[in-house]
C-alpha cells in the first residue's frame, strides 16, 4: 500500500516568518508534527511518503503513486487543502483527512472519502482495521481523549530536516483555562494530559540521532499546565540531557502565571528554554473579564512580562482587539503596553469566533456571525459583527500594526527588551548560517532598507551595551523586517478590497 501524506501550504502570515526564513536559507518554520505522528502509526510494511507543500511542490506523479492520500490541516490551511483535495479527486485517488480543520468543519468537505477525526490515536486504528477488512466507513470520530503515554515517536525520517528552522515535539495536550475565543479545550479538553519524561527524552534522542542540533519547539498550548511534574521530573531530566548538547534550545507556549513561579522559570531557563509565547490579549480588565481570561486579570501584566524576561525567557505575545467592551482608546493602550513591555514579537489580531468555541455559540444566538473564521488570528479580518463600528475597528487595528512595527518604535522596543533580558551563560559561537544572515541583514536592512538609520544605530548600541546579545539582536531585527513586510501586504490587500468594493457600489 502506497500512502502519501500531504501538508497543505500555510498562507503568508506574521507567524509564517517567510521573509525572515530567507535570511537563513530555510523554507518553513516547522515540519507537520501531526502527519509525522500519523505516519508512525501506519503498518510498517506500507510505503509512506511525506509532501509538505510549504517546502516542496506537489507533483501529479506524486499523487499518481499513491493508493491513498492522507491530508492533515488546520483551519488556516483550508484554501490550499481544498485545492489538493480537488487534484486528488481528479486523479481518482481516495482522500483520508484529519486534523483540526476537518474535525471542526467536516461537513464542509462532502467530497472527502474518509474522515478520521479527533485524536488520531483513537480513530485511526479503527479506520485501518476496517480498511484491512475491506469495509472502511466514511467518518470516524470519538468523544474520548487519548492516553498520550501511548503515542509513538514521530516518523522523523519522513521529513527533510534541512528545510526547517525548528523541530517540534509535544509534551502535553489540554488546557486548564477556559478562554471563550479559544478552541483548544473543545478539541483537546480541560484536563492536562502529559507524556512520561522517558517518552520526551526518547523523542529528543530520536531527533538528535537524525542529526538535529538546533531549536526545538514544545507545541503544547500550555506547557506549564502541570507545574509539579515539570519541576520534579521533566525539567531536571532536560537539564541533565542537555549537559553535552548545549546547541539544542527550546521554546514553548505558557500562561502568564508563569511569572508567579520563580523556581519554575529558573528551571526552564536552565533546561534551555529561551522563548515562551503568552496570550496577553488586552491590557483592559473589562476585555479580559468578557473573554473569561481570568488568569490574566487583576495583575500588573507589564511587570509580569519583565519578570519573565529577567528570568531569561523572551516573551512573545498575542493581543486581540474587537471585544464588545473595547473603547476607542484601546488601540493606543495596546500600543503603549506593547512598547513598554518590550515584547518584540507582538502578534495583534482582530477577534474571531472559531466554530466549537463558547464565543461562537454566543454570537450565533445573537445573530452576529459573518461566516467562518479564517483561522489566521492576525490577518486583520473577523467573522463577527463587532460592537464597535467595523471600519473604525480595522482603522485602529492598522494603526497598532503601523505603530509597533515602524522602524523607530520596533528598535526602541527591541532595546527595551534587551535591557531586561538575562542571556544564557553559555553563548554559542556564531554559526555559518547566522553569519550569512548577518551579512544579508547588512545589505537588506542596513543598505537597502528604509530602516537603515535605526538598524545601524541599534547595532552599535547592542555591540557596546549588550555584546553577548548581538546575535539575538540581529535575529530580532530580521524578524522586524518580516513583520513590516507582512503588515504592508495586509494593509495593501484590505485597501485594494475596499477600493474594489467602493467601485462596484458606485453607479
| SS3 letters across 434-468 | HHHHHHHHHHHHHHCCCCHHHHHHHHHHHHHHCHH
The pLDDT value recorded for residue 497 is 60
The pLDDT value recorded for residue 494 is 63
Contacts for 1 with CB less than 8 Å, ≥ 6 apart: 43, 45, 46, 47, 67, 68
Cell (9 digits) for 96: 483520508
Helix axes 470-505, 390-404, angle to 10 degrees: 150
- 345-361 mean pLDDT: 94
The pLDDT value recorded for residue 502 is 46
Q: Where does 260-406 have alpha helices with state H?
A: 262-270, 285-290, 301-310, 330-341, 358-365, 390-404
- Tell me the three-class secondary structure of 268-293, residue by residue: HHHCCEEEEEEEEECCCHHHHHHCCC
Task: Convert the pLDDT of each residue in 71-127 to its tens digit.
Answer: 999 999 999 999 999 999 999 999 999 999 999 999 999 999 999 999 999 999 999
Q: Is the pLDDT of residue 390 over 60?
A: yes
The pLDDT value recorded for residue 376 is 85
Task: Convert the pLDDT of each residue in 289-303 to its tens digit.
Answer: 999 999 999 999 999
Higher pLDDT, 185 or 197: 197
The pLDDT value recorded for residue 242 is 97
Residue 279 phi/psi, 5-degree rounding, is -80, 100
The pTM is what?
0.95
**2-140 sits in which CATH class?**
alpha beta
Q: Where are the domains of the chain?
A: 2-140
Task: Convert the pLDDT of each residue in 478-494 to its tens digit.
Answer: 999 999 999 888 777 66
Spatial separation of the C-alpha atoms in residues 124 and 102, rounded to whole Å: 14
Summary count for the chain: helices (H), strands (E):
20, 14
The pLDDT value recorded for residue 489 is 82
Q: Is the pLDDT of residue 378 over 90?
A: no
Contacts for 125 with CB less than 8 Å, ≥ 6 apart: 41
State the pLDDT confidence band at 171, using cuts at 50, 70 and 90: very high
Percent of the chain with pLDDT over 90: 89
Average pLDDT, the chain: 94
The pLDDT value recorded for residue 274 is 96
The pLDDT value recorded for residue 496 is 63
Q: What is the gyration radius of the CA atoms in the chain, in angstroms?
A: 23
Task: Convert the pLDDT of each residue in 232-278 to its tens digit.
Answer: 999 999 999 999 999 999 999 999 999 999 999 999 999 999 999 99
The pLDDT value recorded for residue 500 is 52
Is-contact 175 56, C-beta < 8 A? no
Amino acid at each position: 500500500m502506497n500512502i502519501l501524506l500531504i501538508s497543505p501550504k500555510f498562507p503568508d502570515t506574521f507567524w509564517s516568518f517567510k521573509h525572515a526564513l530567507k535570511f537563513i536559507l530555510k523554507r518553513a518554520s516547522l515540519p507537520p508534527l501531526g502527519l509525522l505522528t500519523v505516519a508512525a502509526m501506519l503498518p510498517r510494511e506500507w510505503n509512506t511518503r511525506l509532501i509538505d507543500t510549504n517546502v516542496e511542490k506537489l507533483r501529479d506523479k506524486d499523487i499518481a503513486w499513491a493508493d491513498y492520500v492522507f491530508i492533515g490541516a488546520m483551519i488556516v490551511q483550508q484554501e490550499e487543502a481544498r485545492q489538493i483535495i480537488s487534484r486528488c479527486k481528479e486523479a481518482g485517488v481516495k482522500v483520508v483527512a484529519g486534523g483540526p480543520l476537518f474535525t471542526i468543519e467536516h461537513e464542509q468537505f462532502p467530497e472527502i472519502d474518509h474522515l478520521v477525526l479527533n485524536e488520531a490515536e483513537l480513530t485511526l486504528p479503527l479506520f485501518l482495521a476496517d480498511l484491512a477488512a475491506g469495509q472502511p466507513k466514511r467518518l470516524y470520530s470519538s468523544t474520548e481523549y487519548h492516553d498520550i503515554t501511548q503515542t509513538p515517536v514521530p516518523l522523523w525520517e519522513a521529513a527533510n530536516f534541512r528545510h526547517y528552522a525548528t523541530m517540534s515535539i509535544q509534551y502535553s495536550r489540554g488546557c486548564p483555562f477556559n478562554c471563550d475565543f479559544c478552541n483548544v479545550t473543545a478539541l483537546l479538553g480541560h484536563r492536562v494530559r502529559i507524556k512520561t519524561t522517558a517518552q520526551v527524552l526518547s523523542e529528543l534522542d530520536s531527533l538528535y540521532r537524525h542529526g538535529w542540533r538546533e531549536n526545538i519547539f514544545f507545541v503544547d498550548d500550555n506547557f506549564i499546565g502541570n507545574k509539579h511534574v515539570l519541576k520534579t521530573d521533566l525539567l531536571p531530566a532536560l537539564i541533565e540531557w542537555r549537559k553535552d548538547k548545549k546547541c539544542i534550545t527550546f521554546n514553548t507556549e505558557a500562561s502568564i502565571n508563569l511569572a508567579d513561579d520563580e523556581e519554575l522559570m529558573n528551571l526552564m531557563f536552565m533546561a534551555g528554554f529561551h522563548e515562551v509565547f503568552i496570550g496577553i490579549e488586552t491590557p483592559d480588565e473589562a476585555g479580559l473579564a468578557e473573554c473569561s481570561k481570568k488568569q490574566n486579570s487583576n495583575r500588573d501584566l507589564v511587570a509580569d512580562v519583565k519578570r519573565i524576561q529577567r528570568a531569561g525567557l523572551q516573551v512573545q505575545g498575542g493581543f486581540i482587539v474587537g471585544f464588545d467592551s473595547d473603547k476607542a482608546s484601546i488601540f493606543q493602550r495596546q500600543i503603549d503596553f506593547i512598547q513598554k513591555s518590550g515584547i518584540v514579537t507582538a502578534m495583534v489580531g482582530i477577534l474571531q469566533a472559531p466554530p466549537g468555541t463558547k464565543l461562537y455559540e454566543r454570537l450565533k444566538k445573537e445573530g452576529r456571525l459573518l461566516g467562518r473564521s479564517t483561522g489566521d488570528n492576525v490577518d486583520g479580518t473577523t467573522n463577527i459583527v463587532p460592537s464597535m463600528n467595523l471600519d473604525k475597528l480595522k482603522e485602529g487595528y492598522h494603526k497598532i500594526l503601523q505603530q509597533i512595527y515602524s522602524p523607530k518604535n520596533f528598535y526602541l522596543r527591541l532595546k527595551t527588551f534587551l535591557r531586561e533580558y538575562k542571556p544564557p551563560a553559555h553563548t554559542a559561537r556564531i554559526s555559518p548560517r547566522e553569519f550569512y544572515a548577518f551579512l544579508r541583514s547588512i545589505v537588506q536592512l542596513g543598505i537597502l532598507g528604509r530602516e537603515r538609520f535605526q538598524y545601524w544605530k541599534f547595532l552599535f548600541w547592542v555591540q557596546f551595551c549588550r555584546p553577548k546579545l548581538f546575535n539575538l539582536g540581529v535575529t530580532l531585527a530580521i524578524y522586524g523586517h518580516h513583520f513590516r513586510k507582512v503588515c504592508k501586504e495586509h494593509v495593501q490587500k484590505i485597501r485594494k478590497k475596499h477600493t474594489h468594493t467602493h467601485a462596484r457600489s458606485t453607479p
